[in-house]
Amino acid sequence: MRRLIVNADDFGMAPGVNRAIVEAHRRGIVTSTSLLANGGAFGDAVELARGEPALGVGVHLNLTEGRPVAREPEVSMLVDDRGMFRHSPASLAMGLATERVRIEEIERELRAQVDKVLAAGIRPTHLDGHNHIHMLPQIFPLAARVAREYGVRAMRCSIERPVGLSALIRKHSAGAVFARYAEGRVLAAVAFACDFRGVLRRAGTAAPEYFFGLTQTGFLDAESLEKILYNLPPGSSELMCHPGYADAALRSSQTSLVVERERELEALTQPETRAAIARLGVHLIRYDELGQAE
Protein backbone atom coordinates (compact mmCIF):
# COMPACT_ATOMS: atom_id res chain seq x y z
CA MET A 1 0.00 0.00 0.00
CA ARG A 2 1.20 3.48 -0.85
CA ARG A 3 0.48 6.11 1.80
CA LEU A 4 1.25 9.77 1.18
CA ILE A 5 1.49 12.85 3.40
CA VAL A 6 1.20 16.02 1.32
CA ASN A 7 2.68 18.68 3.59
CA ALA A 8 2.47 22.40 2.79
CA ASP A 9 5.32 24.34 4.38
CA ASP A 10 5.27 27.96 5.61
CA PHE A 11 1.81 28.14 7.22
CA GLY A 12 1.82 31.49 9.00
CA MET A 13 4.25 33.22 6.62
CA ALA A 14 1.63 35.48 5.00
CA PRO A 15 -2.18 35.61 4.68
CA GLY A 16 -1.95 34.55 1.04
CA VAL A 17 0.05 31.48 1.97
CA ASN A 18 -2.41 30.58 4.73
CA ARG A 19 -5.40 30.96 2.44
CA ALA A 20 -3.81 28.86 -0.29
CA ILE A 21 -2.84 26.05 2.10
CA VAL A 22 -6.40 25.80 3.42
CA GLU A 23 -7.72 25.87 -0.14
CA ALA A 24 -5.27 23.13 -1.19
CA HIS A 25 -6.53 21.08 1.75
CA ARG A 26 -10.23 21.64 1.10
CA ARG A 27 -10.27 21.10 -2.65
CA GLY A 28 -6.92 19.49 -3.27
CA ILE A 29 -4.62 16.85 -1.84
CA VAL A 30 -2.84 18.68 1.01
CA THR A 31 -3.28 16.72 4.25
CA SER A 32 -0.75 18.43 6.49
CA THR A 33 1.01 21.73 7.02
CA SER A 34 3.92 23.15 9.02
CA LEU A 35 3.36 26.31 11.09
CA LEU A 36 5.95 29.08 11.43
CA ALA A 37 5.73 30.15 15.07
CA ASN A 38 7.48 33.43 14.22
CA GLY A 39 5.55 34.02 10.99
CA GLY A 40 3.95 37.39 10.35
CA ALA A 41 0.56 35.73 9.83
CA PHE A 42 0.80 33.25 12.73
CA GLY A 43 -2.47 34.36 14.35
CA ASP A 44 -4.36 34.12 11.07
CA ALA A 45 -2.98 30.62 10.50
CA VAL A 46 -4.06 29.48 13.98
CA GLU A 47 -7.60 30.75 13.39
CA LEU A 48 -7.80 28.96 10.06
CA ALA A 49 -6.40 25.74 11.54
CA ARG A 50 -9.12 25.71 14.19
CA GLY A 51 -11.69 25.47 11.41
CA GLU A 52 -9.90 22.58 9.64
CA PRO A 53 -9.83 19.63 12.07
CA ALA A 54 -8.75 17.19 9.32
CA LEU A 55 -5.64 19.24 8.53
CA GLY A 56 -2.57 18.03 10.44
CA VAL A 57 -0.44 20.90 11.76
CA GLY A 58 3.22 20.58 12.69
CA VAL A 59 5.88 23.10 13.70
CA HIS A 60 8.15 24.55 11.00
CA LEU A 61 11.25 25.17 13.11
CA ASN A 62 12.91 28.36 11.90
CA LEU A 63 16.36 29.79 12.63
CA THR A 64 17.03 31.71 9.41
CA GLU A 65 14.21 34.20 8.71
CA GLY A 66 12.37 36.80 10.78
CA ARG A 67 12.61 37.41 14.51
CA PRO A 68 13.09 34.76 17.19
CA VAL A 69 10.28 33.74 19.51
CA ALA A 70 12.60 33.56 22.53
CA ARG A 71 13.70 36.80 24.18
CA GLU A 72 16.51 38.36 22.17
CA PRO A 73 19.11 38.35 25.00
CA GLU A 74 18.60 34.59 25.35
CA VAL A 75 19.50 33.95 21.69
CA SER A 76 21.99 36.74 21.05
CA MET A 77 24.26 34.61 18.85
CA LEU A 78 21.40 33.92 16.47
CA VAL A 79 20.36 37.52 15.74
CA ASP A 80 21.82 40.68 14.23
CA ASP A 81 21.72 44.20 15.65
CA ARG A 82 18.10 44.57 14.46
CA GLY A 83 17.01 41.47 16.38
CA MET A 84 16.51 39.43 13.19
CA PHE A 85 17.87 35.95 12.54
CA ARG A 86 21.30 36.50 11.04
CA HIS A 87 22.26 33.09 9.68
CA SER A 88 21.70 31.10 6.51
CA PRO A 89 21.70 27.31 6.94
CA ALA A 90 25.34 27.23 5.78
CA SER A 91 26.52 29.97 8.15
CA LEU A 92 24.53 28.40 10.98
CA ALA A 93 26.35 25.10 10.38
CA MET A 94 29.69 26.93 10.30
CA GLY A 95 28.83 28.83 13.46
CA LEU A 96 28.04 25.61 15.28
CA ALA A 97 31.23 23.97 14.03
CA THR A 98 33.38 26.90 15.19
CA GLU A 99 31.40 27.45 18.41
CA ARG A 100 30.37 30.97 17.36
CA VAL A 101 26.82 29.71 17.81
CA ARG A 102 25.85 27.85 20.98
CA ILE A 103 23.59 24.82 20.71
CA GLU A 104 21.99 25.94 24.00
CA GLU A 105 20.62 29.05 22.29
CA ILE A 106 19.25 26.98 19.44
CA GLU A 107 17.54 24.65 21.88
CA ARG A 108 16.05 27.65 23.71
CA GLU A 109 14.61 29.00 20.46
CA LEU A 110 13.27 25.66 19.23
CA ARG A 111 11.50 25.09 22.54
CA ALA A 112 10.08 28.62 22.47
CA GLN A 113 8.61 27.96 19.02
CA VAL A 114 6.99 24.69 20.07
CA ASP A 115 5.70 26.34 23.26
CA LYS A 116 4.09 29.13 21.24
CA VAL A 117 2.26 26.67 18.99
CA LEU A 118 1.06 24.68 22.01
CA ALA A 119 -0.08 27.86 23.77
CA ALA A 120 -2.21 28.66 20.72
CA GLY A 121 -4.13 25.43 21.30
CA ILE A 122 -2.54 23.39 18.54
CA ARG A 123 -1.18 19.92 19.27
CA PRO A 124 1.63 19.49 16.70
CA THR A 125 1.58 16.36 14.57
CA HIS A 126 5.26 16.65 13.67
CA LEU A 127 8.38 18.82 13.51
CA ASP A 128 10.31 19.87 10.42
CA GLY A 129 12.65 22.72 9.52
CA HIS A 130 12.42 25.91 7.49
CA ASN A 131 15.20 25.70 4.90
CA HIS A 132 15.77 22.19 6.32
CA ILE A 133 17.71 23.60 9.30
CA HIS A 134 16.63 20.57 11.34
CA MET A 135 18.88 18.46 9.09
CA LEU A 136 22.10 20.03 10.33
CA PRO A 137 24.13 17.35 12.15
CA GLN A 138 24.11 19.18 15.48
CA ILE A 139 20.42 20.12 15.30
CA PHE A 140 18.75 16.89 14.15
CA PRO A 141 19.36 14.95 17.40
CA LEU A 142 18.28 18.02 19.36
CA ALA A 143 15.05 18.33 17.37
CA ALA A 144 14.35 14.61 17.87
CA ARG A 145 14.84 15.03 21.62
CA VAL A 146 12.58 18.09 21.71
CA ALA A 147 9.94 16.15 19.78
CA ARG A 148 10.10 13.28 22.24
CA GLU A 149 9.94 15.51 25.30
CA TYR A 150 6.95 17.43 23.97
CA GLY A 151 5.11 14.30 22.91
CA VAL A 152 5.40 15.10 19.20
CA ARG A 153 5.58 11.64 17.69
CA ALA A 154 6.88 12.34 14.17
CA MET A 155 9.51 14.36 12.34
CA ARG A 156 10.52 14.97 8.74
CA CYS A 157 13.69 13.28 7.54
CA SER A 158 14.64 15.08 4.31
CA ILE A 159 16.28 12.20 2.44
CA GLU A 160 14.88 12.87 -1.00
CA ARG A 161 14.07 10.25 -3.58
CA PRO A 162 14.43 12.45 -6.69
CA VAL A 163 12.27 11.80 -9.74
CA GLY A 164 11.66 13.63 -13.00
CA LEU A 165 15.01 15.45 -13.06
CA SER A 166 15.41 15.39 -16.85
CA ALA A 167 11.89 16.76 -17.39
CA LEU A 168 12.56 19.62 -14.97
CA ILE A 169 15.78 20.51 -16.78
CA ARG A 170 13.97 20.63 -20.12
CA LYS A 171 11.46 23.17 -18.74
CA HIS A 172 13.57 25.27 -16.36
CA SER A 173 17.07 26.61 -15.85
CA ALA A 174 19.41 23.63 -15.56
CA GLY A 175 21.53 25.50 -13.04
CA ALA A 176 18.57 26.27 -10.78
CA VAL A 177 17.28 22.69 -10.96
CA PHE A 178 20.72 21.22 -10.26
CA ALA A 179 21.12 23.55 -7.28
CA ARG A 180 17.97 22.10 -5.70
CA TYR A 181 18.99 18.57 -6.64
CA ALA A 182 22.46 19.09 -5.16
CA GLU A 183 20.92 20.39 -1.93
CA GLY A 184 18.93 17.18 -1.71
CA ARG A 185 22.00 15.03 -2.30
CA VAL A 186 23.94 16.89 0.40
CA LEU A 187 21.13 16.50 2.94
CA ALA A 188 20.84 12.80 2.12
CA ALA A 189 24.60 12.31 2.52
CA VAL A 190 24.55 14.05 5.91
CA ALA A 191 21.55 12.00 7.01
CA PHE A 192 23.22 8.72 6.12
CA ALA A 193 26.59 9.70 7.59
CA CYS A 194 24.98 10.76 10.87
CA ASP A 195 22.44 7.91 10.94
CA PHE A 196 19.44 10.20 11.28
CA ARG A 197 17.07 7.26 10.82
CA GLY A 198 18.73 5.61 13.79
CA VAL A 199 18.40 8.84 15.79
CA LEU A 200 14.66 8.84 15.15
CA ARG A 201 14.32 5.15 15.93
CA ARG A 202 16.10 5.53 19.25
CA ALA A 203 13.93 8.55 20.10
CA GLY A 204 10.75 6.62 19.28
CA THR A 205 9.92 9.23 16.64
CA ALA A 206 8.24 8.24 13.38
CA ALA A 207 9.09 9.53 9.91
CA PRO A 208 7.86 8.66 6.43
CA GLU A 209 10.03 6.12 4.67
CA TYR A 210 10.44 8.32 1.59
CA PHE A 211 10.59 12.05 0.91
CA PHE A 212 9.82 13.95 -2.30
CA GLY A 213 9.67 17.53 -3.49
CA LEU A 214 12.99 19.16 -2.64
CA THR A 215 14.28 19.11 -6.22
CA GLN A 216 10.86 20.36 -7.36
CA THR A 217 10.88 23.33 -4.96
CA GLY A 218 10.06 26.32 -7.12
CA PHE A 219 9.26 24.08 -10.08
CA LEU A 220 6.33 21.97 -8.87
CA ASP A 221 3.59 21.98 -11.49
CA ALA A 222 0.99 19.50 -12.69
CA GLU A 223 3.48 17.54 -14.80
CA SER A 224 6.14 17.18 -12.09
CA LEU A 225 3.50 16.36 -9.48
CA GLU A 226 2.16 13.60 -11.71
CA LYS A 227 5.66 12.12 -12.08
CA ILE A 228 6.04 12.00 -8.31
CA LEU A 229 2.67 10.33 -7.83
CA TYR A 230 3.42 7.69 -10.47
CA ASN A 231 6.79 6.94 -8.84
CA LEU A 232 5.61 6.54 -5.25
CA PRO A 233 7.01 3.32 -3.77
CA PRO A 234 5.03 1.05 -1.44
CA GLY A 235 5.08 2.33 2.12
CA SER A 236 4.81 5.85 3.53
CA SER A 237 6.04 8.96 1.73
CA GLU A 238 5.96 12.71 2.20
CA LEU A 239 5.60 15.24 -0.57
CA MET A 240 6.77 18.69 0.51
CA CYS A 241 5.02 21.60 -1.23
CA HIS A 242 4.65 25.38 -0.97
CA PRO A 243 1.26 26.62 -2.21
CA GLY A 244 0.45 30.30 -1.83
CA TYR A 245 -1.06 33.45 -3.25
CA ALA A 246 1.43 36.19 -4.12
CA ASP A 247 -0.06 38.89 -1.87
CA ALA A 248 1.79 42.01 -0.71
CA ALA A 249 2.91 40.38 2.54
CA LEU A 250 4.48 37.46 0.68
CA ARG A 251 6.18 39.74 -1.84
CA SER A 252 7.75 41.75 0.98
CA SER A 253 9.00 38.65 2.82
CA GLN A 254 12.42 37.03 2.54
CA THR A 255 11.12 34.00 0.63
CA SER A 256 12.49 33.14 -2.79
CA LEU A 257 9.17 31.52 -3.75
CA VAL A 258 6.46 33.99 -4.75
CA VAL A 259 4.54 33.44 -8.01
CA GLU A 260 5.83 29.86 -8.02
CA ARG A 261 3.48 29.16 -5.10
CA GLU A 262 0.44 29.91 -7.23
CA ARG A 263 1.59 27.34 -9.80
CA GLU A 264 1.90 24.77 -7.01
CA LEU A 265 -1.58 25.61 -5.74
CA GLU A 266 -3.01 25.00 -9.20
CA ALA A 267 -1.29 21.62 -9.47
CA LEU A 268 -2.39 20.51 -6.01
CA THR A 269 -6.04 21.39 -6.55
CA GLN A 270 -6.79 20.40 -10.12
CA PRO A 271 -9.32 17.55 -10.50
CA GLU A 272 -6.85 15.48 -12.52
CA THR A 273 -4.56 15.27 -9.51
CA ARG A 274 -7.27 13.82 -7.27
CA ALA A 275 -8.23 11.45 -10.08
CA ALA A 276 -4.62 10.25 -10.32
CA ILE A 277 -4.51 9.66 -6.55
CA ALA A 278 -7.66 7.53 -6.79
CA ARG A 279 -6.51 5.67 -9.91
CA LEU A 280 -3.15 4.80 -8.37
CA GLY A 281 -4.69 3.67 -5.09
CA VAL A 282 -2.66 6.18 -3.04
CA HIS A 283 -3.97 6.71 0.51
CA LEU A 284 -3.62 10.29 1.71
CA ILE A 285 -2.67 10.51 5.39
CA ARG A 286 -1.36 12.96 8.02
CA TYR A 287 1.79 12.68 10.10
CA ASP A 288 -0.18 11.53 13.12
CA GLU A 289 -1.41 8.54 11.11
CA LEU A 290 2.07 7.11 10.59
CA GLY A 291 2.37 3.69 12.16
CA GLN A 292 -1.37 3.04 12.14
CA ALA A 293 -2.55 -0.22 10.63
CA GLU A 294 -2.79 -0.04 6.86
CATH number at residue 201: 3.20.20.370
pLDDT digits (tens, 9 = 90+) for 129-150: 999 999 999 999 999 999 999 9
User: What does the pLDDT read at residue 246?
Assistant: 86
Does 212 score more than 90 pLDDT?
Answer: yes
**152 within domain boundaries:** yes
Top pLDDT among 58 and 246 is at: 58
**294 within domain boundaries:** no
Mean pLDDT of 1-22: 96
Mean pLDDT of 206-224: 95
User: What does the pLDDT read at residue 294?
Assistant: 52
Q: What percent of the chain is predicted at pLDDT more than 90?
A: 90
pLDDT digits (tens, 9 = 90+) for 24-83: 999 999 999 999 999 999 999 999 999 999 999 999 999 999 999 999 999 999 999 999
Per the structure, the complete domain to which residue 246 belongs is given by 2-289
Query: Distance (Å, rounded) from C-alpha 105 to C-alpha 73?
Result: 10
Does 293 score more than 70 pLDDT?
Answer: no
DSSP string, the chain: -EEEEEEEEEETS-HHHHHHHHHHHHSSS--EEEE-TT-TTHHHHHHHHHT-TTSEEEEEE-SSSS--SS-GGGGGGGB-TTSSB---HHHHHHHHHTTSS-HHHHHHHHHHHHHHHHHTT---S-EEEGGGGGGSTTHHHHHHHHHHHTT--BB----B----HHHHHHHS-HHHHHHHHHHHHHHHHHHHHTTHHHHHHHHT-B--SEEE-STTTTT--HHHHHHHHHTPPSEEEEEEE------HHHHTSS-S-SHHHHHHHHHHHSHHHHHHHHHHTEEEE-GGGTTS--
User: What does the pLDDT read at residue 249?
Assistant: 80
User: What does the pLDDT read at residue 255?
Assistant: 76
In this prediction the pTM is 0.95
pLDDT band at 280 (very low <50, low <70, confident <90, very high): very high
Give exposure, 78-89, as e/b (b: 16+ Cβ within 10 Å).
Answer: bbeeeeebbbeb
Cβ contact 240:213 at 8 Å: yes
Query: Nearest 5 degrees, angle CA 91-CA 261-CA 79?
Result: 25
User: What does the pLDDT read at residue 248?
Assistant: 85
**95 within domain boundaries:** yes
Instruction: Quote the number of domains for the chain.
Output: 1
Number of residues that this document lists for the chain: 294
**37 within domain boundaries:** yes
Query: Distance (Å, rounded) from C-alpha 152 to C-alpha 127?
Result: 7
Does 257 score more than 80 pLDDT?
Answer: no
Mean pLDDT of 284-289: 97
